[in-house]
Amino acid sequence: MKKPILTLLLAASMAGAAAQPSKEAVRRAIDECAAYAVGVLLDENGKSRCDYNLTLGEWYPYEEPWHTGQLVLGLLEAYKATGNRAWLNGARRGGDWWLTLEIKDNPRLKGMVGATHGDVIGNDQIVFATVSDGTPGIFELSRVTGDKRYATLATSAAKWMLENLYYPEEGVCYDLADLATGEVLKLGSPFHGGKPDQTLFDVSRPNTEGSLFKDAYEFSGDERFRDAHILLCDALIRFQDEHGLWMDFMPNHKAEGSFHPRFNLWYAESLLECYDLTGDRRYLEAAARTARTYAAAQRRDGTMFYDNYINGRPADKGSVCGSEVALAGILWMRLTGYGFDEFAANVDRSADWLVKNRFSTEHPDPNLRGAVVNTRMRFRKGTMWMTQRDVGTSFGLRFLSAYLRQLEK
């Protein structure tokens, strides 16, 4: 009987021991990445510059609220690992910009944040994940500094989203709300262009990325948030396929068999948060299923690519995804801590890769010095759109800081 393709890939990826970088090398990588984040990635207003077009030599915005929030989280983790207050001050700059997103002049959206997507759908729609993917850093900033303004705003946004976007009967949250009117888009999503007859899963997802409702519960004590996080994680288990993925939801592409480099990992991370909240091993086992598929996608040298497939098609090597290496590493590291020793080699591979695959601090282009490699190749109107993205560095900081603490135990 033939073994499934993912089983074969996993066996290959796990073959051989992985190199473990030294504490000194990891610490140096953290400092160089954090210096890049503070000195280059955060602009004069404190928000992330996001995507650097390598052919044009120009920066372009892309979902700034979550990109900035992840930079905040990465810098906070670097501060906790090294004690360097420059990284804490950088995180504060990002958090202070996040505070400017509060909507104060629209009664329909009072207390919400104007977290719009930009890029292909413009800035007319608030996107659930654009909020929730940024809030882990915002909540953590309040924990680290004791300044409650950041978590208060994030919780206020969570309350609006719970009351307007949450659809518990189906285990999902709607994705979009109109920035001007607050109207929730329930019949069609611009993410799907002109697709006719859109269904519920085209306009909604479980949307547990960032574990917004869990963080809001822990800050506010409001049990509704706790119940929502658990209900949505139960839905994740229900909707998860045999590969540990959520192929019914974008930005996975079920028809092509391709899965997104971070989306499923975020869901799996939220399942670990639910395990911590409840002690129910169902969430732990579901997260491990996701982790195994990403372990199968990691090369023996630690490399991971943006486009991966479950149908046997080789990964597209056009885009090298450092943020996937880091976020998968975070998931593997946590699972190893829960006793899943099968992922230990993957953790070391991620660490070794992130230490080695960064732009030199002497690079001739100052926009790249110290960044974790995270390239993305796309085409727009016949023009190559080749970018180096900030997320490699922000997620790299999270992983490397956790890895350093592990080495120091």
Give pLDDT, residue 12.
40
Can you give the pLDDT at residue 289? 98
- pLDDT value of position 409: 87
Question: Residue 296: pLDDT above 50?
Answer: yes
Q: Does 15 score more than 80 pLDDT?
A: no
Q: What tokens appear for 392 in the block?
A: 């490699």
Burial of residue 390 (CB within 10 Å: 0-12, 13-18, 19+) is buried
- Which range, of 52-66, 117-131, 214-228, averages the lowest pLDDT? 117-131
Q: Is the pLDDT of residue 402 over 90?
A: yes
How confident is residue 152, by pLDDT bands cut at 50, 70 and 90?
Answer: very high
CA–CA separation, 79 and 229 (whole Å): 29
Digit-coded pLDDT (tens) for 343-375: 999 999 999 999 999 999 999 999 999 999 999
Q: Name the band, by pLDDT with cuts 50, 70 and 90, for residue 6.
A: very low
User: What is the structure's pLDDT at 14?
Assistant: 45
pLDDT of residue 9: 42
- β partners of residue 387: 53, 376
Q: Are 154 and 211 in contact (CB under 8 A)?
A: no
Secondary structure E strands in 254-304: 258-259
143 has pLDDT over 50: yes
pLDDT digits 0-9 by tens, 239-288: 999 999 999 999 999 999 999 999 999 999 999 999 999 999 999 999 99
The rounded percent of the chain whose pLDDT value lies above 70 is 96
312-337: pLDDT as tens digits: 888 888 899 999 999 999 999 999 99
Q: State how far the alpha carbon of 257 is from the alpha carbons of 195, 244, 311, 314, in Å.
A: 19, 13, 6, 11
pLDDT value at residue 10: 44
* pLDDT, tens only, 170-179: 999 999 999 9
pLDDT value of residue 16: 54
From CA 120, how far away is CA 250, in angstroms rounded? 15
Burial 34-69 (b: 16+ CB within 10 A, else e): bbbbbebbbbeebbbbbbbebeeeebeebbbbbbbb
- Is residue 13 pLDDT above 90, yes or no? no
The per-residue pLDDT for range 197-251, each reduced to its tens digit, is: 899 999 999 999 999 999 999 999 999 999 999 999 999 999 999 999 999 999 9
- What pTM, to 2 d.p., does this model score? 0.95
Torsion of CA 106, 109, 112, 113, to 10 degrees: -60
**pLDDT tens-digit map of 70-118:** 999 999 999 999 999 999 999 999 999 999 999 999 999 999 999 998 8
pLDDT of residue 194: 76
